[in-house]
Amino acid sequence: MSTVSRAADRIESVPFLTRDDASLLLVLPGLFVFSAFMLFPVLYLLGISFTNAEPANLFAGEGVVAVLTFGDALFVGLENYADVLTDGQFWNSFGVTWLFVATSVTLKIGASLAIALIVTSELVRGKRVLRSLIIFPMGLPPIFTITVWRGIFSSAEFGLMNQLLTAFGASSVAWLSGRWTAFVAYNVTEAWLAYPFMVIITVSALQDVPEELHEAAVVDGAGFLARFAHITLPSIKRPVLFASILTSAASFQQFLIPFVFNKGGPARANELIVVYGYREALSFQQYGRGAAISIIALVFIGAFMWLNVKKGKLADGVND
């Protein structure tokens, strides 16, 4: 203990620090390790994006010096960015990513709202049991869920989806080998992954809607749809909007679904942006280009964070 208080005394002797600031020492190790594995890779990634790095030159040489000079890779300025931004492949990936955000978020909000309305309906009994069942998939590891869904969309005759189709008299579909069928498969899986979170938030928002408003509207003769549009929706708008920002960010950064399903295929058509950067570097050895793509993706992830701070009143909790 004495060493700690001695350190505290020493800190106190620094003019603008108080004795309590010694507590910063308890936080610093965690902060340092976290930054070392988050901040440093960002800087390194940024560095690589300005070089012509590929395994042959990047991993040449050994030790700290080679790390700092990016091996034998050469500085090429903004060439990678210019290259990427004039490449049709990039714009395809960029477009597919935003399309995926749009479709999957719409699907997620629609489905979760419907589910939430069902499990809060006053006509339904046993709501607590239903609700705890419904959020069960939250406890499953994503890699498990996604490999299972890949089996469901198995391109061969007897995946679960194709069995359902044949049961209803339709012919089976090679889900993961067609561009848009694979895209549909991504959307369904993403919706299934995200619905427990969305339902939890929507249900708690729905429970906060004042009962009196609904009763008054019923007295005035408003039907279910009118009450939904004029009472329910306005009251749950804010929390649902907040959840939508979070889930949009999740869709934008989706990696596992395309990667596990068909590596963003067929023929790289469905590579969402994070998958695109990853594959460019680690499958096609273009580290410089891959890094440039990842940096572009990071800018958008940063924008989501900023939006989250603005809309989610993130700072509220810190001011306690």
8 A C-beta contact, residue 242 and residue 312: yes
Sites for another protein among residues 250-309 (CB under 8 A):
250, 252-256, 259-260, 274, 277-278, 281-282, 287, 290-291, 294, 297-298, 301, 304-305, 308-309
3-state secondary structure of 222: coil
- CA-based end-to-end distance of the chain: 30
Cβ atoms of 182 and 261 within 8 Å: the answer is: yes
Of 137 and 178, the one with the shorter C-beta distance to another protein is 137
What CA–CA distance (Å, rounded) separates 12 from 187?
57
Query: Minimum distance from CB of 77 to another protein (Å)?
Result: 19
**Distance of closest approach, residue 70 Cβ to another protein, in angstroms:** 8
Dist. CA 98–CA 273, nearest whole Å: 9
> What is the Cα–Cα distance from 25 to 252, expressed in whole angstroms?
37
Residue 74 near another protein by CB under 8 A:
no
Residues between 140 and 179 with contacts to another protein, criterion CB under 8 A: 140-144, 147-152, 154-158, 160, 163
Is residue 81 at the binding interface for another protein, with CB under 8 A as the rule? no
User: Pattern 31-70, binding to another protein, x per CB under 8 A?
Assistant: x-xx-xxx-xxxxxx--x----x----xx--x---xx---
Note whether 112 binds another protein by CB under 8 A: no
Report the nearest approach of another protein to the CB of residue 51 (Å): 11
CB of 67 to another protein, least distance (A): 5
Distances (CA, A) of 313 to 242, 317, 319: 9, 8, 11
Stretch that binds another protein, among 102-110, 124-132, 172-180, 220-228 (CB under 8 A): 124-132
* Region at 265 (left for phi over 0; alpha for psi -120 to 50; beta for the rest): beta
> How many other C-beta atoms lie within 10 A of the C-beta of residue 243?
24
Which residue from 130, 184, 209, 217 is in contact with another protein, where contact means CB under 8 A?
130
Query: Which residues does 285 contact at the CB level (< 8 Å), separation at least 6?
Result: 54, 55
Residue 124 within binding range of another protein, rule CB under 8 A: yes
**Judged by CB under 8 A, does residue 211 bind another protein?**
no
CB of residue 216 vs another protein: minimum separation in angstroms? 21
Shortest distance (Å) from residue 139 CB to another protein: 3
Residue 64: how many other CB atoms lie within 10 Å: 7
CB of 25 to another protein, least distance (A): 8
**Residue that is written with structure tokens 């938030």 in the block:** 201
